[in-house]
Amino acid sequence: MEIKENFDIKKLTSFKCGGKIKKVFFPESIEEFQQIIEKNPETEVFGNLSNTLVSSWGYDESIILTSAMNNISIDGEKVAADCGVNGPKLAQEVCKAGLSGLEFMIGFPGSIGGEVYMNASAHDQCISDNLTNVLCYSRKFGLIHYSKEDMGFGYRCSRCEKDRLIVLQAGFELNYKSSDEIQKQMDENLNFRRTHQPSLALPNCGSIFKNPTGNPAGRLLESVGAKEIMMGGVRVWRNHANFIVNIADGSSLDILKLMYELQNRVKEEYNIILEPEIKFLGGKNSEENELWQILNKK
């Protein structure tokens, strides 16, 4: 197991910003993960930081990154994937096996743990559609197996946030289909993503805000002039207003200031409070802390 101290996290984040982390653990198995978390029970856990804004001022505690927990097993139509498995990697592996049901994940930059945690979705599919069971870690009860029905899946949510659960492994039951058909659907999904979302060549964390019921966040933001807004080294992507791109080595504070401006404009115009979809890891900068608290007030 790899352990890094005073680790510069910037290159690992999708936003390409972030300072030094006091200590980072990289477990490679569920057993190693248990060893770490039982000795350090309050340690924050992340996947590959694709949905996380890390403070440019760093973080003075330890974190666990599960990106090295990346085993995949395929037995007939049943698939098991560790939490650190990259979404596109899993989609490609099951395609080779002629298994359909995860085509929508081909364009996801995140890992399975985070995608199950938030019930990630795209192209009228969500991760819970073909999921059968989940192995989670509870800081109170240890390892717990949940069925799909136990998970309380909804739009961009599951019981994980409420119960402080960490997803360690997910099981799926897929359907046989020709690999050519599956690949064709994945290609279509990727083409859609290229025209509707910024590539990772423009550092971004995906959708910034959740969609309010019946009101897509991008449409609300576009109507209040979001696409013209820039803050420091970051700006709203010109093709879709619910994305922020880091164009000039912007800081986490730039991003939070821009998120505050966006949320405030929509609140003033429509009396709708947009809820952040991304997570934040920080604590050392008081202005950032205050902005994050404001952004999460409902």
Predicted confidence (pLDDT) per residue in 98-117, tens digit: 999 999 999 888 899 999 99
Considering only residues 182 and 193, tell me which one the structure prediction assigns the higher pLDDT.
182
Q: Structure tokens of 297? A: 């007030």
Radius of gyration of the chain (CA): 19
Reply yes or no on whether the pLDDT at 63 is more than 90. yes
**What is this structure's pTM?**
0.91
Question: What does the CA dihedral 283, 15, 22, 68 come to, rounded to 10 degrees?
Answer: 130
**CA 172, CA 75: separation in Å to the nearest integer?**
11
The predicted structure's pLDDT at residue 190: 92
CATH topology classification for 217-295: 3.90.78
Binned at pLDDT 50, 70 and 90, residue 201 comes out as: confident
- Of the residues 28, 77, 275, 277, only one is catalytic, namely 277
The predicted structure's pLDDT at residue 193: 86
The predicted structure's pLDDT at residue 199: 83
The predicted structure's pLDDT at residue 252: 98
User: Is 199 assigned a catalytic role?
Assistant: no
Reply yes or no on whether the pLDDT at 179 is more than 80. yes
Domain ranges of the chain: 2-65, 72-196, 217-295
- Of the residues 50, 207, 251, 252, only one is catalytic, namely 207
User: Is 277 assigned a catalytic role?
Assistant: yes
The residues facing 166 across adjacent strands are 137
How many CB atoms are closer than 10 A to CB 212? 15
**SS (HEC) of the chain:** CEEEEEEECHHHCCCCCCCEEEEEEECCCHHHHHHHHHHCCCCEEECCCCCEEECCCCEEEEEEECCCCCCEEEECCEEEEECCCEHHHHHHHHHHCCEECCHHHHHCCCEHHHHHHCCCEECCEECCCCEEEEEEEECCCEEEEEEHHHHCCECCECHHHHHCEEEEEEEEECEECCHHHHHHHHHHHHHHHHHHCCCCCCCCCCCCECCCCCCCHHHHHHHCCHHHCEECCEEECCCCCCCEEECCCCCHHHHHHHHHHHHHHHHHHHCCCCCECCEEECCCCHHHHHHHHHHCCC
Whether domain 72-196 has CATH 3.30.465.10: yes
Which segment of 20-24, 127-131, 153-157 scores lowest on mean pLDDT? 153-157
The answer to whether 105 and 88 have CB atoms below 8 angstroms apart is yes
Reply yes or no on whether the pLDDT at 200 is more than 80. no
Over residues 188-213, the mean pLDDT reads 90
Q: Structure tokens of 59? A: 């973080």
Predicted confidence (pLDDT) per residue in 224-274, tens digit: 999 999 999 999 999 999 999 999 999 999 999 999 999 999 999 999 999
Over residues 80-97, the mean pLDDT reads 97
The predicted structure's pLDDT at residue 107: 85
**What's the angle, vertex CA 201, arms to CA 200 and CA 205, rounded to 5?**
35
Q: Structure tokens of 11? A: 């290159």
**CA 156, CA 34: separation in Å to the nearest integer?**
27
- Of the residues 139, 156, 159, 193, only one is catalytic, namely 156
User: Is 61 assigned a catalytic role?
Assistant: no
Binned at pLDDT 50, 70 and 90, residue 121 comes out as: confident
2-65 and 217-295 have identical folds: no
The predicted structure's pLDDT at residue 124: 84
Whether domain 2-65 has CATH 3.30.390.50: no
